[in-house]
Amino acid sequence: MLSSLSLNLIELGHFAAYLAFTVALVQGLAPLLAHKLRLPSLADISINAAILVFLLTTLGGLTLIHAFVTSNFSVLYVAMTSNSQLPLFYKVAALWGGHEGSLYLWVWILTLFTVFVVWHGRRRYPERLPVILAVQGWLMVGFFGLILFLSNPFLRVFPVPVDGRDLNPLLQDPGMVIHPPMLYLGYVGFSVPYAFAMAALLTNWNSELWIGHIRRWALIAWGFLTTGIILGAWWSYYELGWGGYWAWDPVENASFMPWLLGTALIHSITVQERRRMLHAWNLFLVITTFALSLLGTFLVRSGVLSSVHAFAVDPGRGAYILLFMILVLSVSFGIFLRKGRYQQAEENITSVLSRESFFVWNNVVFTLAGACVLLGTLYPLALEALTAAKISVGPPYFNAVMVPIFLLAMLLMGIAPLVPWRKANADKLRRRLLLPAIIGLAVAVLMWLVFPALYWTGPVAVGLVGFVLGMLATDFVRAVKQRRRQLPHEGPVLAMVNTILRNQRHYGGMVVHFGIMLIAIGLVGSGLFRLEKSVMMAPGDILEIGGERLRFDRVQQFRRDNYLAVQAQFTSLNSGYTLAPERRRYPVQEAPTTEASIHSTLLRDVYAIITEPEGGRWGVQVYVNPLVQFIWLGGMVIISGLGFSLSYRVRRMIRSPATVPASLS
């Protein structure tokens, strides 16, 4: 039996959460009061408050985790999402297995980011720091209000249940353990640029001074969001057992919208940094990206997606969320509209054929993409709420609309990195584009000849991949050659390494583009060349799919941890590997789940699941998904490229400026 101290530790956490709420209020108010009372020193309170809120929120979070680990089912939330039989790993992760805990994790991460901002800004921008923290403080107040008054994970239940209702079996997967924190690190990460932007608008902060900071924070947030989305797709692929990884589900779209706008932002912010343009537009993008992050959190967490009526089932929570969104949006855009152009002077464009104008087109494409996903996700909800008419907007719609937009983005990716700032020499550009264009065209034609029946997007996408990859390769080779001409004594390998190291930001970005291309290859391969078979089989039968001969060996049953499993075994008669898909039954939740078994090679995955038995035969579904591994590989490449690009300043601090050779230009 638990000691009473251990049992009631949760109350300490509950108290800490209330204190955090109060201190966050102080954090939000301090700079306001300092301004009103003309007591600048008062503003610094928000710095200490930010640290205190983080400590208190951490205390609250740790008591929640403690309640999960000790299976303290007197806590309602623990009783709802955990079970004494649950493996320890998942007990901890069950913290974000439901609404209440997810929101708590959100605000916990927000306080964590705030502390990072304190650490980052104390010396770099001390006079603006309190305002930035105040903006984040108000966000915390909003979230803590929702958590404490409407969605409280600390609530107790009496009588204490004998055991918990268990974590949703679908969430009992390593992918699902890391996916939500990554996603939230991304969502919440965008609150930092947002707080910077609001502080800049409120205090007429010269954009030269904050643009570099916003860029780095936005890149970090973008990296986490990208990781979160790819992990989500990975989880969907491995755990949900439907052979795919992206379904244009509203929950997925919710994370994809801020990603699209965030992608527009991290590109267009460079224009402001280098060319002092698009100042107001970037502020707009920062606010919109964060607003979409909030929308994403709330869409998933309010239950509005399953049905508009679910919103009304818990009217308090729904109304609060709606009100909070309206408040954040109207205050942010109100301030933006009033002061967005506080920094009027901007530079002009020298030529339409310049990097800056291509960045503008990039923004057109990504804003369009974001708007279309938003429309497709919210339109059915709005239509149902307004006219009671119900329609579905599913994958066929999104594929039809989004694929052409992606192709447009790829076209820009192949040209824009070659175009210099200010003004490009059209002849030179044409010459540099010639080889990549030939490569792209050749690949597209080849594709079309080999697979004439393919939908038009297939050859076009493959051609564009060839075009972009050709551009990346030729551009790099040209840079290395140029370096070798200038420094002939350097060996070829050293020249390559140094070319990259001397322009880390650029090549980091190009590595990210390369990763995107790998993902594009994976999407084309698995999207257009997927094979599937759905058959009834008895042990001993053989299934042939895509040249692969699979023998159904046997079915066995066993019990593990907290579930019962029926496991089938297949052997490939070609290469000898075995597949062992399972059906699991988790007695507490009574929900059967299918565990796919996947044999992966770089070129293709063989993906098997079993469904229900019928008259001595089992329903078997087998998919052959070509090139899926390229998607996960691309994700890793993107993150490495981003990390490489971001490590730029760290390297510079280590190396003394005197060692940078003057011959670089």
Partner 1 sequence: MRKILFLLVLWAAPLSAAQVTEDPLERQMLDIAGKLRCAVCQNQPVSESNADLAKDMRAIIREQLQAGKSREQIIAYFVERYGDYILLKPPFDQAGALLWLAPPLLLIILGGSAYLFLRRRLQAPARDYPALSAEDQARVRAVRGQEKIYQTRRPE
Report 556-575 residues binding partner 1 (CB under 8 A): 556-557, 566
Q: Establish whether the linkage from the previous residue to 159 is cis, with ω within 30° of 0.
A: yes
Would you count residue 486 as binding partner 1 (CB under 8 A)? no
Binding mask 273-292 for partner 1 (x = CB under 8 A): xx-xx---------------
What are the b/e assignments for 94-110, b being 16+ CB within 10 Å?
bbbbbbbbbbbbbbbbb
Q: How far is the CB of 642 from partner 1 (least distance, A)?
A: 18
CB of 420 to partner 1, least distance (A): 4
Q: Which residues contact 183 (CB under 8 A, 6 or more apart)?
A: 224, 225, 228, 229, 232, 255
Count Cα neighbours of 340 within 13 Å in the Cβ-side half-sphere: 18
Please state whether beta strands 548-560 and 542-545 pair in parallel, antiparallel, or not at all (unpaired). antiparallel
* Cβ closest to partner 1, residue 178 vs residue 383: 383
> Which residues in 130-189 contact partner 1 (CB under 8 A)?
none
The reply on whether position 376 binds partner 1 by CB under 8 A is: yes
Sign of CA dihedral 244, 248, 249, 251: positive
Q: Is 490 in the site for partner 1 (CB under 8 A)?
A: no
From residue 444 to residue 483, the character string flagging contacts with partner 1 as x (rule: CB under 8 A) and all else as - is: ----------------------------------------
Single out the segment in contact with partner 1 by CB under 8 A; choices: 42-50, 140-148, 269-277, 490-498. Answer: 269-277
* Strand blocks (E) in 196-239: none
Please give the structure tokens belonging to residue 651: 């390297």
Name, in order, each residue with C-beta under 8 angstroms of 143's C-beta and a sequence gap of 6 or more.
Answer: 103, 106, 107, 110
Contacting residue, 309, 478, 481, 554, with partner 1 by CB under 8 A: 554
* Cα–Cα distances in angstroms (integers) from residue 527 to residues 176, 217, 239, 530, 531, in the given order: 24, 34, 19, 6, 10
Contact string 598-637 vs partner 1 (x = CB under 8 A): -------------x-x--xx--------------------
Type of residue numbered 609: I
Report in angstroms how near the CB of residue 525 gets to partner 1 at its nearest.
20
Q: Which is nearer to partner 1, 300 or 518 (CB)?
A: 300
CA dihedral sign of residues 348, 350, 356, 362: positive
Size of the site for partner 1 (CB under 8 A): 89
By CB under 8 A, the residues from 16 to 35 that bind partner 1 are none
Is the Cβ of residue 4 or residue 348 nearer to partner 1 in the bound state?
348
Place of tokens 């984040």: 136
Residue of 132, 254, 360, 443 that binds partner 1 (CB under 8 A) = 360
Work out which of 544, 603, 647, 655 binds partner 1, going by CB under 8 A.
544
21 or 210: CB nearest partner 1: 210
Among 160, 438, 501, 664, binds partner 1 (CB under 8 A): 664
Q: Is 247 an interacting residue with respect to partner 1 (CB under 8 A)?
A: yes
Residue 18 vs 397, nearer CB to partner 1: 397
Q: Minimal distance in Å, beta carbon 551 to partner 1?
A: 7
- Find the binder of partner 1 among 334, 394, 492, 587 (CB under 8 A): 394
Give the orientation angle of helix 191-203 with respect to helix 129-150, to 10 degrees: 130
Cα separation, 410 vs 425, in Å, equals: 22
Q: Which of 44, 475, 490, 541 binds partner 1 (CB under 8 A)?
A: 541
Nearest residue (CB) to partner 1, 271 versus 447: 271
Smallest gap from Cβ 244 to partner 1, in A, equals 8
| Stretch near partner 1 under the rule CB under 8 A, chosen from 143-151, 287-295, 529-537, 624-632 | 529-537
Q: Are 644 and 509 in contact (CB under 8 A)?
A: no
Given the complex with partner 1, which of 82 and 363 has the nearer CB atom? 363
Two structure tokens written together for 271: 């224009």
Main-chain dihedrals φ then ψ at residue 610, nearest 5 degrees: -110, 145
Q: Is 438 in the site for partner 1 (CB under 8 A)?
A: no
357 touches partner 1 by CB under 8 A: yes
- The residue from 347, 561, 577, 587 that contacts partner 1 (CB under 8 A) is 347
DSSP codes joined into one string, 532-562: EEEEEE-TT-EEEETTEEEEEEEEEEEEETT
**Separation between Cα atoms, residue 166 and residue 591, nearest integer Å:** 11
CB of 543 to partner 1, least distance (A): 6
Task: Give the interface segment with partner 1, choosing from 34-42, 182-190, 289-297, 417-425 (CB under 8 A).
Answer: 417-425
Does 3 engage in binding with partner 1 (CB under 8 A)? no
Residue among 242, 324, 406, 476 that touches partner 1 (CB under 8 A): 242
Q: Helix, strand or coil for residue 165? A: coil
- Asked if 558 and 635 count as a contact pair (C-beta separation under 8 A), the reply is no
Query: Is 376 in contact with 397 (CB distance < 8 Å)?
Result: yes
